[in-house]
Amino acid sequence: MKFSIIVYFLWLILCVQPVENHFFNWIWNKVQHTFDPNKSQRVFDCGTSDILPILPAKMDTPRVTGGLSAVDHSFPWMVNVVNLKSLKSCGGAIIGPDTIVTAAHCIIDQPEYITVIAGAANLFGRLNLFNYYAVSQVIVHPNYISCCDNDVAIIKLKKVLERSEMINSICLPAEQNQELKPETTAFIVGWGGKYPSGDLNTFGSFHLKQGLVYIKSNDYCKQIYGTFDEKDEICATNTHDNVDSREGDSGGPLMILNKTDNRWYLFGVTSHGANTQTIQPGVYSSISAKLDFIKKYL
């Protein structure tokens, strides 16, 4: 009996967090719509956030490894993709009301054993069952080869997400095969663990982490990774601040803020890297190179 009370109490704590639980926002919107049927629902407005991020310029101290905690819900397109049977956890990004993009190597279990956690900013939010969304279909890129050619997959949700301050989509690049200039500033986010690998990374970091990285030239990337494919991949790093992706960050977004329209654009998903204590460039599967494939499922 005492054990049941403790479990119920912990569950209640998770459920009544107004900051982390968009379920209550959903209830409130339904109540408002009942009394005012003409009230319009919020629509997805890609690449914008109600809660502005505090972006690092250059970090004062050297995972995202070396990353800083992101402002809660400042990246509302960020999701957690969880394989429930194999317990493999990855990141992902919302690109439509029922559509997620992630890395193909993150798809291990069958769709019925994969869940997407949306609207969470910390570990409590990721444990909150109201933030869980069932998967109806997974589409792995037809030319995907295990680590790591065409390392992209699309996830379709059974239930459409509702736009809120905690949930929105990120914009896709405007052009197919859009090239990025070397040293372009980009950002990565993720719940990856502190350690290179192992059981200590099971739950990842408590808060969502963000890091600043710089796009590197194709020649530089080829020197580090002999198999680097400039038509399929992007590499980026920040050795000055010791920033890199870690285990658990796979599938998460490589993002660039467009200063012209002030929107965030998705240019890559975290694919692979050296995964060592010494920071090496992370490799990201290019989104602009796969726009035709992705847009078919929006």
User: 233-237 and 153-157 as β-strands: parallel, antiparallel, unpaired?
Assistant: unpaired
pLDDT attached to residue 111: 96
Residue 28 near residue 22 (C-beta atoms within 8 A): no
Q: Alpha-carbon distance 75 to 45, whole Å?
A: 13
Q: Alpha-carbon distance 193 to 58, whole Å?
A: 22
Residue 260 near residue 165 (C-beta atoms within 8 A): no
Phi, psi at 292, each rounded to 5°: -60, -45
Residue 23 near residue 159 (C-beta atoms within 8 A): no
| 139-172: pLDDT as tens digits | 999 999 887 899 999 999 999 999 999 999 999 9
Q: Alpha-carbon distance 148 to 280, whole Å?
A: 17
Planar angle of CA 87, 62, 243, nearest 5 degrees: 50
Q: Of 187, 233, 180, 184, which is closest to residue 64 (Cα–Cα)?
A: 187
- Domain coordinates of the chain in residue numbers? 185-288
Per-residue pLDDT 10s for the chain (298 aa) are 556 665 555 555 455 444 455 556 666 766 766 777 666 678 999 999 999 998 876 544 434 544 688 999 999 999 999 999 998 899 999 999 999 999 999 999 999 999 999 999 888 888 888 899 999 999 999 999 887 899 999 999 999 999 999 999 999 999 888 989 999 999 999 987 655 554 545 567 788 989 899 999 999 999 988 889 999 999 998 865 445 455 568 999 999 999 999 999 999 999 987 655 556 788 999 999 999 999 999 9
> Helix (H, G, I), strand (E, B), or coil: what is residue 14?
helix
CATH topology of domain 185-288: Thrombin, subunit H (2.40.10)
| Both structure tokens of 293 | 């494939």
Burial class (CB in 10 A: 0-12, 13-18, 19+), 48: middle
Burial class (CB in 10 A: 0-12, 13-18, 19+), 72: middle
Q: Alpha carbon of 162 to those of 27, 64, 159, 177: distances in Å?
A: 11, 28, 9, 31
Single-letter amino acid code for the residue at 59? M
Q: Alpha carbon of 241 to those of 133, 185, 196: distances in Å?
A: 35, 13, 17
pTM as predicted:
0.85
| Both structure tokens of 112 | 């019925």
